[in-house]
Amino acid sequence: MNRARRIRQLVVAITVVVLLAPCVLRAQSGSLLFVSNEIGRSLTIVNPATRSVVATIPLGERARGIRSSPDGKLVYVALSDDIPMRETAGDRIAVVDVATRKVIARFRAGSDPEQFAVSPSGRFLYTSNEDAGTASATDIRTGKVIATMVVGIEPEGVGVSPDGRWVYVTAETSNSVSVIDTRTNKVVANFLVDARPRAVAFSPDGTRAYVTAEIGGTLSIVDARKHEVLGSVELERGQAKPVGVVVSPDGRTVYVANGRGNTVSIVDAKSASVIATIPVGHRPWGIALSRDAKTLYTADGLSDQVSVIDVGARRVVGTIKVGARPWGVALVE
Amino acid sequence: MPMITRREFLRVAGVALATSRAGAGIPILNWAPARTLRLALLLPPADPSLASVASDWSAGAALALSETERAAQLFGQRISLSERRIDQNQKPEDVIARDHPSVIIGGASATECAALAQAAEAAGVLFLNLGSTDDALRRSDCRRHMFHVAASDAMIDSARRAASSANGPISIELWHPSLTRYGGAELNDRYADRFKRPMTSSAWAAWVAVKIAWETSLKARSVEPAALLSVLENDSTGFDGHKGTQLSFRAWDHQLRQPLYAVSNATGAGRVVAELPDVGRNNDQGMRELLDQFGDLAGSASCFARGAA
């Protein structure tokens, strides 16, 4: 073996190691739970297996909406500053590299970004701009806003259909949901839901969407092909303050974080009925479900903790102390 | 008990099929022919003591108009608001005859409210009382077409008693610019950004009155006062006023159920020392039942209790 060949082999070997390192790191650490801390202005990274904090990343601004990329390599966090009504340098989406646990980019997504959704292709990010009454579409590859759409008043929750065709944006003051066709990036429909809609999640087959209404105390069930409300489920006699929502991988069960109701409701999608209510910490907003649908996580905002819920046992089996005023959770598996 | 609710209304109101464009570039999906909900804000006679109230009403209503105009466009509807000063030369009847409102908004005193209510009832339109706390308007002088956004003296007394543990003098308010929860911060920001002053109780009252009128029209799918009245009197009708719980009108006195705020001025700046009742607290009782313990109780008031029986 001559010297040049050995060098080539060495280069290939080093390249392979470098390329695979993130995978190895992931395999070693397993799943990771990312928690945005609104008041703490940081991101807490939790190892769900040990229920321990493995890192805290300062972000410098209010951290709220949080989602992972479809391939699980990146986590996006919505940041906003304390200057209302206008976009400033503090209003950004931070991009966190899961492998290195570092912020690798910050890009614009309109003013005061709060919630957003990532397209299934991983290429586009759709953001609600609360004080501007708009939604923005950002091309993640270039980090540029490619479309701004007028939606309802005080837009908040954003969800994208599994096929990437539709984006739903809830609006808290107009009690409406705007439907964006991602082929044209235009609003093509609006429909009413109950008072103060906060979040939306699609079923995995894309036939249904579920919208929480914080003041209405309900979960609206939407025909996501016709963009039409089928009915609503009253949570805790209307006393719940539903915010975060997630659907099980089989589409049969919907989990709702009830905010200042301090509970999680488990809703059977088919019968549109509540089958269990689980007490958690104070003011759970963000909610995430493991891929095997066995474990739920809630960001308990006023308890500065994440609750870990055994779905089968329907009870909290652990809590994890995180930063100040946790807002959302994203699970990377 | 979990249940399917409002299915029929939401099914009908939620349908969005047409694809025409109108308004300010927002694609419209009409569920009904375009209608204009006409509102009239009636300001009190020029009086230095009422100048700030009139100014705050005007600003609160203007903010709500901007917001509801946009919301109306989403559903292919329109809303308009006229603003008139009531005085010797311009009676409420004149404004109603000229502007054809479905709802009039105003009322700074009991006398003014009585005149507005009488004019509204004679014309078959609705009246939302923004400013008078007078109990008689909710009791012996109540009228079916009159609804009260302003808290009654009886409610304020209840709130004051509930806040009796607070140190020093307090005032009972409908709103305060320091409120942040349930969208309070965003509402305060929107108002302050536009008018360069804090949102007062008077401004909030006018803001929520316009919002209530619009949402009532949306729920009724009509601008006809009789249809609006039916929705306002429906026991299941609720509104969001950024107070953390649904607001609704009591059947027995047409008083808006709403949390109130005890504000201490001990430090000069004004600070909310109590929310009455405490919306954030977990209660075995429903929030609606708690709200109904403030002011005249069900069955204790006069005309509507009898009328509903």
**Residue A223 phi, psi dihedral angles, 5° rounding:** -75, 105
Report the C-alpha dihedral over residues B164, B169, B172, B175, rounded to 10 degrees.
-120
Please indicate whether residue B302 or residue A163 has the higher confidence score (pLDDT): A163
At B287, is the pLDDT very low, low, confident or very high (cuts 50, 70, 90)? Answer: confident
CB atoms within 10 A of CB B273: 16
Residue type, A12: V
Please give the residue of chain A at the shortest CA–CA distance from B181: A260
By DSSP bridging, strand A32-37 and strand A74-80 are unpaired
Mean pLDDT (chain A) is 91
pLDDT at residue B20 greater than cutoff 90:
no
pLDDT at residue B43 greater than cutoff 80:
yes
CB–CB contact A195 B287 (8 Å): no
**Residue A285 phi, psi dihedral angles, 5° rounding:** -115, -70
pLDDT at residue B213 greater than cutoff 60:
yes
- Residue B11: what pLDDT? 36
CB–CB contact A153 B1 (8 Å): no
- Residue B25: what pLDDT? 35
State whether residue A44 is helix, strand or coil.
strand
Distance from C-alpha of B88 to C-alpha of B66, rounded to nearest angstrom: 31
CB–CB contact A273 B2 (8 Å): yes
At A23, is the pLDDT very low, low, confident or very high (cuts 50, 70, 90)? Answer: very low
Burial class (CB in 10 A: 0-12, 13-18, 19+), A188: middle
The span from the first CA to the last CA of chain B, in angstroms, equals 27
Count of H-run helices and E-run strands, chain A = 1, 28
pLDDT at residue B151 greater than cutoff 80:
yes
- Residue B17: what pLDDT? 26
- Residue A42: what pLDDT? 98
Cα–Cα nearest to A80, from A53, A102, A104, A112:
A112
Tokens representing B304?
């509507």
CB atoms within 10 A of CB A12: 10
The mean pLDDT of A97-110, rounded to a whole number, is 93
pLDDT tens per residue across span B99-130: 999 999 999 999 999 999 999 999 999 999 99
The mean pLDDT of B255-261, rounded to a whole number, is 96
Q: Which residues of chain A does B280 touch, with a Cβ-Cβ cutoff of 8 Å?
A: 260
Q: Name the most confidently modeled range: A79-88, A314-323, B277-286.
A: A314-323
pLDDT at residue A230 greater than cutoff 50:
yes
The mean pLDDT of A105-116, rounded to a whole number, is 89
CB–CB contact A231 B4 (8 Å): yes
Distance from C-alpha of A183 to C-alpha of B117, rounded to nearest angstrom: 52
Q: Which residues of chain B does A232 touch, with a Cβ-Cβ cutoff of 8 Å?
A: 4-7, 10
Residues paired with residue A52 on neighbouring β-strands, in sequence order: A47
List, in sequence order, every beta strand (DSSP E) within chain B. 4-5, 21-22, 26-27, 36-43, 78-85, 103-106, 126-129, 146-148, 170-173, 239-240, 246-249, 256-257, 260-264, 271-276
pLDDT at residue A258 greater than cutoff 60:
yes
Whether this model's pTM surpasses 0.90: no
CB–CB contact B11 A262 (8 Å): no
Tokens representing A146?
């490619």
CA angle B109, B113, B118 (to 5 degrees): 155
Q: How far is B87 from chain A (nearest CA, A)?
A: 35
pLDDT at residue A26 greater than cutoff 50:
no
The answer to whether A116 touches A95, Cβ cutoff 8 Å, is no
Cα–Cα nearest to A153, from B238, B190, B61:
B190
CB atoms within 10 A of CB A118: 21
The mean pLDDT of A94-118, rounded to a whole number, is 93
Distance from C-alpha of B110 to C-alpha of B178, rounded to nearest angstrom: 29
Distance from C-alpha of B22 to C-alpha of A152, rounded to nearest angstrom: 15
Cα–Cα nearest to B37, from B72, B61, B9:
B72
Give yes or no for a cis peptide into A204 (omega within 30° of 0): no
Query: How many CB pairs below 8 A link A and B?
Result: 139
Distance from C-alpha of B305 to C-alpha of B127, rounded to nearest angstrom: 20
pLDDT at residue A227 greater than cutoff 60:
yes
CB–CB contact A175 B215 (8 Å): yes
CB–CB contact B6 A194 (8 Å): yes
The answer to whether A208 touches A222, Cβ cutoff 8 Å, is yes
0.90 surpassed by complex ipTM: no
> Which of these ranges, A188-202, B29-43, B80-94, B257-271, has the smallest mean pLDDT?
B29-43
Please give the residue of chain A at the shortest CA–CA distance from B17: A189
Tokens representing B301?
């008031």
CB atoms within 10 A of CB A173: 27
Q: CA dist A136 to A132, A185, A255, B117, B240, Å?
A: 10, 9, 27, 46, 26
CB–CB contact A192 B240 (8 Å): no
Distance from C-alpha of B309 to C-alpha of B302, rounded to nearest angstrom: 11
Query: Which of A229, A263, A277 is the best residue to mutate to test the B interface, defined by the most B CB atoms within 10 Å of its own CB?
Result: A229
The mean pLDDT of A276-301, rounded to a whole number, is 97
Query: Which of B1, B186, B284 is the best residue to mutate to test the A interface, defined by the most A CB atoms within 10 Å of its own CB?
Result: B186
- Residue B119: what pLDDT? 97
Residues 6 or more apart in contact with residue B238 via CB below 8 angstroms: A195, A215, A216, B246, B247, B248
